[in-house]
Amino acid sequence: MKASLFLAVMLLAVSLMAQETASPAPESRRITLNGQTFELANSTNGENIATEEYVLSGEKLATWTQLVTVQRITLAKPSSPDEFATYFQKRISQESGARLDLLQQGRAACVFSTYFAKSDQNEEQMMVCLVFSEVKTPQVLNLIQYAIKPNQLAQSVVEMQLKAWKAQFSQQALSLVR
């Protein structure tokens, strides 16, 4: 049975609070999103940011082709998802060969895509991101990122996955409008 993205995100947010700093990832943690199964590969919990990284079943974190990252970010002061997206867009514009396109922007949730050209540090990557705030704690932002390495997969697969994730995140953002 396929869990809804919202339910999966909420379960992940709750589990992030229970993780210990730099704990090894339990092999049994799996999520199914957009018809794909991802396994928890890494989990860290810092002072202001908790992160879980999921790779496709059978892949390793060091050699992933598709990655889902869930982050719970505690800011010094409340910030809306659209303010975060604007800040991130300015930051991305300073990187050579990087760009950010806002797909859906609002105070409750934002969806954007990013592109990072191949560099000395990283392979070429494309991402679709959903960011939303928590009603009861507006200084906490939740960021879900789907990343794909286009040079590792057939172009048709890349296009199909990006289209599906954009649609899923956009639908989810609309459901979060308060």
Tens digits of per-residue pLDDT, 85-140?
888 888 888 877 788 899 988 778 999 999 999 888 889 999 999 999 887 888 89
Q: pLDDT at position 177, please?
A: 67
The model's pLDDT over 136-154, given as tens digits with 9 standing for 90+, comes to 888 899 999 999 999 999 9
Q: pLDDT at position 97, please?
A: 76
Band of residue 6 on the pLDDT scale cut at 50, 70, 90? very low
The model's pLDDT over 16-71, given as tens digits with 9 standing for 90+, comes to 333 333 444 444 589 888 889 999 999 999 999 999 999 999 999 999 999 999 99
Q: Is the pLDDT of residue 168 over 60?
A: yes
Question: What is the distance between the alpha carbons of residues 147 and 143, in angstroms, rounded to a whole number?
Answer: 13
Q: Is the pLDDT of residue 165 over 90?
A: yes
Phi, psi of 102 (to 5 degrees): -75, 125
Q: pLDDT at position 69, please?
A: 96
Residue 97 region, left (φ>0) first, then alpha (ψ -120 to 50), else beta?
left
Class of residue 169 by CB neighbours under 10 A (exposed 0-12, middle 13-18, buried 19+)? buried
Task: Please indicate whether residue 171 or residue 18 has the higher confidence score (pLDDT).
Answer: 171
Length in residues, the chain: 178
Q: Is the pLDDT of residue 171 over 60?
A: yes
**Max CA pair span of the chain:** 43
Task: Please indicate whether residue 47 or residue 177 has the higher confidence score (pLDDT).
Answer: 47
Question: What is the distance between the alpha carbons of residues 136 and 126, in angstroms, rounded to a whole number?
Answer: 32
What architecture (CATH level 2) is domain 5-175?
A: 3-Layer(aba) Sandwich (3.40)
Q: pLDDT at position 122, please?
A: 83
In contact, 53 and 69? CB cutoff 8 Å: yes
pTM score, whole prediction: 0.81
Question: What is the distance between the alpha carbons of residues 155 and 6, in angstroms, rounded to a whole number?
Answer: 28
Average pLDDT over residues 164-173: 93
Residue 58 region, left (φ>0) first, then alpha (ψ -120 to 50), else beta?
left
> CB under 8 Å, gap of 24 or more: what pairs does 133-138 form?
133/78, 133/79, 133/80, 133/81, 133/108, 133/109, 135/178, 138/78, 138/79, 138/80
Residue of 62, 52, 49, 6 lying closest to 30 (CA atoms):
52
Question: What is the distance between the alpha carbons of residues 53 and 43, in angstroms, rounded to a whole number?
Answer: 6
In contact, 150 and 169? CB cutoff 8 Å: no
Q: Is the pLDDT of residue 73 over 90?
A: yes
Q: pLDDT at position 62, please?
A: 92
